[in-house]
Amino acid sequence: MYDLIIIGGGPAGTAAAIYAARAELDFIVIEGSMMPGGQVLTTSDVDNYPGLPGVGGFELGTKFAEHARTLGTRFVTENVLSMKAEGSIKSVTTEKNTYESRSIIIATGAVHRKAGVKGEEEYAGRGVSYCATCDGAFFRNKVTAVVGGGDVALEDALYLSRLCRKVYLIHRRNEFRAAKSLVSKARQAENIEFVLDSVVEEVKGENKVSSVALRNKKTDARNELAVDGVFFAVGMQPVTAYIDEAVARDEAGYIIAAEDCCTNIRGVYAAGDIRTKQLRQIVTAAADGANAVASVEKYLQ
Active-site positions read 131, 134-135
What is the Cα–Cα distance from 171 to 156, expressed in whole angstroms? 13
CB-facing half-sphere around the CA of 129: CA atoms within 13 A: 29
- Closest C-alpha among 238, 237, 235, 236 to residue 271: 238
Task: Check: CB of residue 289 under 8 Å from CB of residue 15.
Answer: yes
User: How many angstroms from the chain centroid is the CA of residue 82?
Assistant: 22
Contacts 24+ apart (CB under 8 A), 187-191: 189/157, 189/158, 189/161, 191/161, 191/164, 191/165, 191/166, 191/167
Dihedral sign, CA of 14, 19, 22, 25?
negative
Letter for the amino acid at 33? S
